Chains A and B, each alone.
Chain A
Amino acid sequence: MRVAVQEQPFDFGAEAAAFAAGRHDMGAVVTFTGIVRDTAGDLAAMEIEHYPGMTAKALEKIAAEASTRWSLGDVLVIHRYGRMVPGEMIMMVATAAPHRVDAFEAAEFLMDYLKSRAPFWKKEIGADGAEWVAAKDADEDALTRW
């Protein structure tokens, strides 16, 4: 299990390849990548604030919880903070499991919890100023399925 909280970009291909390499007992690797999205066409940047003392601990707790709920060989979580432009990768998770159902479900669980239980806050910087991204009820509701 590895958790990284960092400002600098990560190399998704290299991370995914390294994560998948060398395990002969894992039949499935699932990866998810979150990317800065410019829905309205006027997003200049996204700034992500976090709680330095808490973030890594919160991510480790979520990753550990996934490892107890599903049969996993490994878990990787990388989440960035700071300023990013549209198209940049914000974060990724990867799960390795003997079977795909465990890898898929654990990756979805990780994403649902990262959305609402990891101390990150997104701010969108647009042409007309800056605005904090509001949490969606649907994101909170998603936790009830686990």
Chain B
Amino acid sequence: MDVLYFAWVRERIGIPKETVETQASTVTELVAELIAREDRYAAAFADISALRVALDQELSDFDASLTGVREVAFFPPMTGG
């Protein structure tokens, strides 16, 4: 699946987008896999409560299932308007 990062999450991880091969069944499991990879992921995901997630471009939550999901995006709380 495609994994996208925005704002300071993108800056900490160092890339805006990557394709990830994963067996994770939930967002939380995917995050755990990413954290285990490298320090920059651990730094970006250090405080999950400070992050938001969208699945296939709809806001979702970290308990959500990844079944059938093609695009996951991680970002800080939004500051529009």
A interface residues with partner B (beta carbon < 8 Å): 34, 49, 51, 53-54, 57-58, 79, 90-91, 111, 114-123, 132-135, 140
Contacts and interface: CB of A to CB of B under 8 A. Distances in A.
B6 A119 contact: yes
A51 B81 contact: no
A120 B76 contact: no
B19 interface: no
Contact of B75 (A51, A90, A122): A51
Given A91-B81, A111-B81, A121-B76, A51 B59 contact: no
What 8 A-B pairs come out closest when comparing CB atoms? A135-B77, A120-B80, A121-B7, A54-B57, A118-B80, A115-B81, A114-B81, A114-B80
B69 interface: no
8 contacts: A49-B7, A51-B73, A90-B81, A116-B77, A119-B75, A120-B79, A120-B80, A135-B79
A115 B80 contact: yes
Given A91-B81, A111-B81, A51 B6 contact: yes
B13 interface: no
B33 interface: no
B71 A132 contact: no
A57 B57 contact: yes
Contacts of A58: 59
A84 B53 CA distance: 27
A119 to B, nearest CB: 6
A140 B52 CA distance: 13
